[in-house]
A and B are shown apart, each in its own frame.
Chain A
């Protein structure tokens, strides 16, 4: 929670599994290493993971402490990932997300990954909407299967039935990975053109374009300005506020100028990155004078920052901020936070709530608190 009492809502968190025994494909190690390097590039040194903590199978108990004790996040939406061509459990498993939500029903939302190439993909959407009450579905623009990169753009026949079912089930949000290419998939799959077509065809769905602002900026703001149901989810881009402030300023400035402050949602990307640095950096952010004068970018007000850091995502989820505040008041995290505050240690120091890993940390859960 911000010092002024406003909620901080995280639109993307994950429990990554970076353990060696989770690898299925030669590129898996590269994914792990590049995810680690991304943290080195985007975060202040003191927030960079110790390697022995990073290269392991992260657990819900660790993620919840990271989010609620080491950062000001009050509510987070877990995204499972469908990368089961590279990793045995998809990299970020559904099971850990549901476990995390069961442990924290008032603080965790769930967006479940769907692979449109699976025969029962449409049935899965119905199942997760009806039986598991998910807050949305997560799609990737490409799949690697049987040695080939397959396109899965939102305007393709393979994906359309999944979107139709999501709209029928009133599922709300479709999160779509974009902008950061991976492995051998052609970069063209990571452009945003297909999102525009889908946004037009399914006005009842909201499309959160993940990693918005990282690349293809003009295309992104064009889509946001053209379609009211296209949102910028700034996972990873948010961390540029602390490490690449000029690039962040340009990305944010373009989004604010063309689409306004209601269409941007903050994401921590934890456990790949530490969640607190971007919260501090966004709260302290001021649009540089040269960009205000030269590009007509607006001043970023405190109200804008509160929208980006929480209010927008709650509105998208149909949640009343005051009700969320009531729901979490006095819960176990709230109590621990009060204790930390009294000790002058809130948020807790980076990675301090992770215990030293055991020799076989990838398989064994650690115990803390």
Chain B
């Protein structure tokens, strides 16, 4: 079964514009602050937080649209600052704006990159095996 193409930006997303591709590369270096508190830091692109990248060649302006895991995320300002700093370094870019998506759409784990989801699942399965846990579904059989 093939996965449906994502409607948000992932590490595998391809752009015709070289500038947008470079912006995506810059965003892959921005890490989700919460994940940095865990043993497994993850970039905002891998986590599926980047909803869209807008690039206006004539004005040199970039708008990065973010769908956060929680509308109440208080790290938005930190993420905003780091995006502006990294993307703002590009010579083609004159201005960077970060916009929080508040359309009512909710972030779910499905938005993570497939590699990250697989890695997360493998960590979970390893932990289950180490703890010698039998799933209820198997116990009841």
Contact = CB atoms under 8 A, between A and B. Distances in A.
Contacts of B108: 244, 246-247
B140 interface: yes
A284 B71 CA distance: 30
Interface string A36-51: 0100110000000000
A184 B109 contact: no
B125 to A, nearest CB: 9
Contact of B127 (A37, A188, A222, A257): A222
A189 to B, nearest CB: 10
B70 A180 contact: yes
Contacts of A222: 124, 127-128, 131, 133
A30 B131 CA distance: 41
A15 interface: no
Contacts of B72: 30, 34, 180-183
B104 A40 contact: yes
A326 B73 CA distance: 47
B12 interface: no
Given A37-B104, A218-B124, A225 B34 contact: no
Nearest to A296: B137
Contacts of B74: 183-184
Nearest to B35: A187
Contacts, number: 66
A357 interface: no
A344 to B, nearest CB: 33
B69 interface: yes
A188 B74 CA distance: 13
Interface in B1-60: 1, 34, 37-38
Q: Interface majority SS on B: helix, strand, loop or mixed? A: loop
Contacts of A350: none
Interface residues of B, number: 27
A259 B136 contact: yes
A258 B37 contact: no
Interface residues of A, number: 31
B106 interface: yes
A246 to B, nearest CB: 8
A57 to B, nearest CB: 23
A226 B137 contact: no
A151 interface: no
Contacts of B71: 34, 37
B7 to A, nearest CB: 14
Nearest to B136: A260
Given A259-B136, A298-B137, A187 B34 contact: yes
A217 interface: yes
Contacts of A250: 109
Contacts of A183: 72, 74
Contacts of A257: 135-137
A244 B128 contact: no
B29 to A, nearest CB: 21
A105 interface: no
B120 interface: yes
Question: What are the nearest 4 A-B pairs in CB distance?
Answer: A260-B136, A218-B124, A187-B34, A41-B104
30 contacts: A34-B71, A34-B72, A40-B104, A180-B70, A183-B72, A183-B74, A186-B37, A187-B34, A188-B38, A215-B69, A217-B109, A218-B120, A218-B121, A222-B131, A222-B133, A225-B133, A226-B131, A226-B133, A246-B110, A247-B110, A256-B137, A257-B135, A257-B137, A258-B133, A258-B135, A258-B137, A259-B136, A260-B139, A296-B137, A298-B137
